Amino acid sequence: MLQLSYQSLQVTAVPSQRVPAREDQDGPWHAEAVCRRDEAGLFFAPSKEPTAARLSREEAAKRVCARCPVMVECREHALLQPEPYGVWGGLTAAERRVVLARRRRRDVEVKKAQSAA
């Protein structure tokens, strides 16, 4: 397996601004994010990252997301902003674009069905 050092990245996985507060708790959802603890470098690509290294890093980031208690909130944040880079809520930027395109198509279909009724 490809071994990479992520300690050289100085990127925070969850920004301190533009983040909606959780409705069911006192603090913002990102305060509980697993990625804030020690693995932030996994979530954003260094410049000129080889494809194999990117895929390996993204899979490692998704494993972190899978055990995160606020994964759904993180994912929705990234879809609503939309966040153009990084792994958020277990989805890469490309995967989020697919989700957004599906949502747009679904919204168009719902509007068509409503106007036909």
Binding residues: 35, 65, 68, 74
Q: What is the DSSP string of 26-72?
A: SSBGGGG-GGGTS-GGGGSPPTT--HHHHHHHHHHHHHHHHT-TTHH
The answer to whether 39 and 12 are in contact (CB under 8 A) is no
Binding residues for [4Fe-4S] cluster: 35, 65, 68, 74
